[in-house]
Amino acid sequence: MAETHSTDPTPPALSPGPDGASAADVPRWVGGMTLVLCAALMLTAGVGVFAAWSLPNSPGWAMIGFEIVLLLGGAVGVLFGLGKFREAPGLSLACVTGVGFVGSVLGYLGVGGALGTFSLREPLFARLAAAGMLGLLATIVPLRADLKSWRMLVIGGVLGSAGVGAVGGAVAAYSRGLPPFVKLAGPAEVARVTGLMIAALLAVVLMSVGMHLVIQAFERRRREPQPPLPDAA
């Protein structure tokens, strides 16, 4: 009995990755912006390697190492922008974002924030801004047009940021010996300690609820796949 072969040219459907998305969920403009941002990161990383190698006394090896890491991360982002990642595009872009943040900061710290007399603060801020934009794009890919997930993400981000901000403010006040970290006497001291305990509990609750909502925003998108955007590649 003769075998029959399918001539259907339609490619097989892409299965969602761990982030609930596939290449079909990536709008063209997201890929284009990723390509431009990561190409810029690669360019600055190449310049950074050359500048750190050219220091008069000895090369800035720490910066060179992290610039190479940033260069490789940018290359992955360029491949993403060209549509080479067919599964888990949001997770892939999130990894590039993390490399952008970590490589930029550690490279900056590796040479004390300067190459000779040239301050690296402005280039650092520019890189962090680019990494932040990549992080936003990494969020757009899995969430897309799911308004409920976006609402959960925003509320969770606000609550979590409030909790982190409260902790940061408390640490700053404690390190400087400012109220309410100045010891009192009698009932006032009891009220002060009680207030600190309640504030600490509220901060923990805010951070916990915020993180829960952020996780649920992405989990909801994974459980309930949405149709791709009209301009998705």
Q: What is the pLDDT of residues 105-155, one digit of tens each?
A: 988 988 888 888 889 999 999 999 999 999 888 888 777 767 788 888 889
Tell me the H-state helices in the chain: 28-53, 61-81, 89-110, 121-143, 147-175, 187-223
d(C-alpha 179, C-alpha 168), whole Å: 14
Q: Say how many domains are in the chain.
A: 2
Same domain, residue pair 122 and 179 = no
Q: Tell which of 121, 143, 165 closes a domain.
A: 143
Q: Which amino acid is at 174?
A: Y
What is the chain's mean pLDDT, rounded?
81
Same domain, residue pair 78 and 165 = no
Q: What is the pLDDT of residues 53-71, one digit of tens each?
A: 988 888 888 899 999 999 9
